[in-house]
Amino acid sequence: MNEHSSRSHSILMITVCQENLETQKKLHGKLNLVELASSEKVSKTGAEGSTLTEAMNINKSFPPLGNVFNALVDNHVHVPYCQSKLTRILQESWGANDKTTMVICVSPSSYNESEIKSTLLFGMRAKTIKNIVTVNKELTADDWQRRYEG
């Protein structure tokens, strides 16, 4: 394993709200900066003890993310966001009203060929997900009234 790696996922969520004081209209936006831990093969790392347990727990979060991607790409009615904390937290990032950019990093070494292949396939599958992006407006009481009376 990479001795400098924290071996964990990191998520920084930034939420921005804007309110027009004259019209009482509110707009919302959120930026998620996500760094997923690497998916190193445990058998190649030589990890033991707590480091091995840590690596195995991190690797458990990738199949649920793949299940979400597969459900979205295949247009399933049910998307299994509840399979892991990671997919639940990032639910709005895929298949919802968000712009999402994914950066995939791989090792240049042929020693990691199988990890490179699975990472690139994961990225190719993810890039086929289509989100419909719209402005996030918070409706006022008047907006709700017009919507349901009209």
* Average pLDDT score over the chain: 83
Query: With 90 as the cut, is the pLDDT of residue 83 above it?
Result: yes
SS3 46: coil
Task: Name the residue with higher pLDDT: 140 or 72.
Answer: 72
Contact 97, 64 (CB under 8 A): no
- Quick one: average pLDDT of 85-98? 85
pLDDT computed for residue 7 by the predictor: 65
134, two tokens: 């719209």
Residue 147 pLDDT class (50, 70, 90 cuts): confident
pLDDT computed for residue 6 by the predictor: 58
pLDDT computed for residue 4 by the predictor: 55
Residue 1 pLDDT class (50, 70, 90 cuts): very low
Q: How far is CA 84 from CA 21, 90, 94, 95, in A?
A: 40, 10, 15, 16
Contact 61, 89 (CB under 8 A): no
- Quick one: average pLDDT of 79-94? 90
5, two tokens: 């790696």
* pTM to 2 decimal places: 0.72
Contact 33, 12 (CB under 8 A): yes
Domain 10-149: give its CATH code: 1.20.58.1980
Query: With 60 as the cut, is the pLDDT of residue 52 above it?
Result: yes
